[in-house]
Amino acid sequence: MLKASTLYIVVIISLLIAMISASLLTIAFYYRLEVQKKTRLDNLLHNENSGREILLSEGFSDYDKKVVMDLFADGKDSLVLRKELWGVYELGMVKAFELKDTLKRSFLIGNVFLDSNVLYLADEDRPLSLSGKTQLVGDGELPKSGLKQSYVDGKPYEGKELIKGKITESNRNVPPLDEKLIQQLEQNFKPEKGLPFNVRDSMVNSFFNTVQLYQLELNQPVIEDTKLRGKIILVSDTVITIAATTVLEDVQIYAPAIIVASGFKGSCQLFARDSIVIGKDCTFDYPSFAGVFKSEESKIQSKISIGEGVTFSGILMTYEKKRSDLQTMISLGAKSRVKGEVFATGYIKMEKGLTVYGKVYAKRFIMQTPATLYENYLIDITLNRKLLSKYYLSSIVFKRAIPDKKVLKWLN
């Protein structure tokens, strides 16, 4: 005969078994959900990578069009692709989705920089003279008259070889740029009416959103104490001054003239008609751009002036469609450092102690000393192609036969 407590124990054990069974079923259910979620995420990552490769391919050349595709024609793996121009770079956006799960990325696209030349000097029937501690590391595209050593202020050229690389002959002019892209950029100087600029503290706009175009009024000559990041364009009909207290990231600015105060730090793309003046000790992070696009009606010398001790990572460029009497100029201050490309349809003026890691293009070089002005002289200048980062990517504004595109910067 069983004791009365036996039934009680059986009931308890049954309850425990039921709870354990229910727990195991619950764990199995949620584990299956997580496995499915992980599988969908892996699929989305794979699809997103596929979409990115499509955007980077040579065959995808349509701008400002949303392209929807089903990768495997099964109604599950879908992509939304879009490519736009963002200044002198391309902007890629890819969104992969399956059911209610979505994964999206945006990024800047650049061209692989395979050019081994450290400088390009147009052939104006005069040689390039080197003096002092000048160093040229990389190949050179130079006039037929080539390189020569020279004495300046009683000091000879101190190097053992004039250039550490091979020399090829240059043409009468600098290499052509992408005129279609330049025309599109110049249209941004006179865009449709933008929003009033009333940002007081900070503004962040995702690259998946529509662009935020702000029109600065005449009584807004200075941008200060403000943080701007993302898909933002500022346009002004007068001179803009960017204070050192301003933080910019990936923003575009268009104005007749732009002044950047000493001590500024950030990354942006600056476009001007007449001049860009960058003060001392500024730091422009990669990928930055500063370009002056001289109009055919202009009667002044359009110019970019870089102060002493500036570090600029990206592209400096001056452009004019037809050669004028006052050709464009890029003036690079003493002890400044440029990591990227310096392109002038006219002159590049340098001061002693300048370092460029990358490539320099010009019709003529100018050196200013306390005593005199020298043309096509390099004095205590370092131009080194080999010290440019192997991860540096160039812009589509430079025409190249078959560009190899890669992700320049992840945005969102």
* pLDDT, tens digit (0-9, with 9 covering 90-100), for 14-65: 888 878 877 888 877 777 776 667 777 777 788 888 889 989 988 787 888 8
| Domain co-membership, 141 together with 186 | yes
Does residue 408 belong to any structural domain of this protein?
no
Does residue 184 belong to any structural domain of this protein?
yes
Does residue 398 belong to any structural domain of this protein?
no
Per-residue confidence band for 9, with pLDDT thresholds at 50, 70 and 90: confident
pLDDT at 77: 66
pLDDT, tens only, 228-287: 999 999 999 999 999 999 999 999 999 999 999 999 999 999 999 999 999 999 999 999
Is 186 in contact with 356 (CB distance < 8 Å)? no
| Domain co-membership, 88 together with 164 | no
| Domain co-membership, 123 together with 251 | yes
pLDDT at 163: 96
Does residue 380 belong to any structural domain of this protein?
yes
pLDDT, tens only, 202-226: 999 999 999 999 999 888 889 999 9
| Domain co-membership, 98 together with 233 | no
Does residue 412 belong to any structural domain of this protein?
no
Number of independent structural domains in the chain: 2
| Domain co-membership, 303 together with 344 | yes
Per-residue confidence band for 380, with pLDDT thresholds at 50, 70 and 90: very high
| Domain co-membership, 102 together with 159 | no
Domain boundary among 59, 82, 112: 112
Domain boundary among 112, 131, 154: 112
| Domain co-membership, 203 together with 344 | yes
| Domain co-membership, 248 together with 173 | yes
Does residue 395 belong to any structural domain of this protein?
no
Q: What is the rounded average pLDDT for all residues in the chain?
A: 90
| Domain co-membership, 128 together with 89 | no
pLDDT, tens only, 82-93: 999 999 999 999
pLDDT at 192: 78
Give the residue numbers spanning the domain of 158: 117-387
Residue 299: pLDDT over 70 = yes
pLDDT, tens only, 314-334: 999 999 998 888 999 999 999
| Domain co-membership, 321 together with 201 | yes
Per-residue confidence band for 73, with pLDDT thresholds at 50, 70 and 90: low
| Domain co-membership, 214 together with 278 | yes
Share of the chain above pLDDT 90, in %: 67
pLDDT, tens only, 135-156: 999 999 999 999 999 988 888 9
| Domain co-membership, 98 together with 132 | no
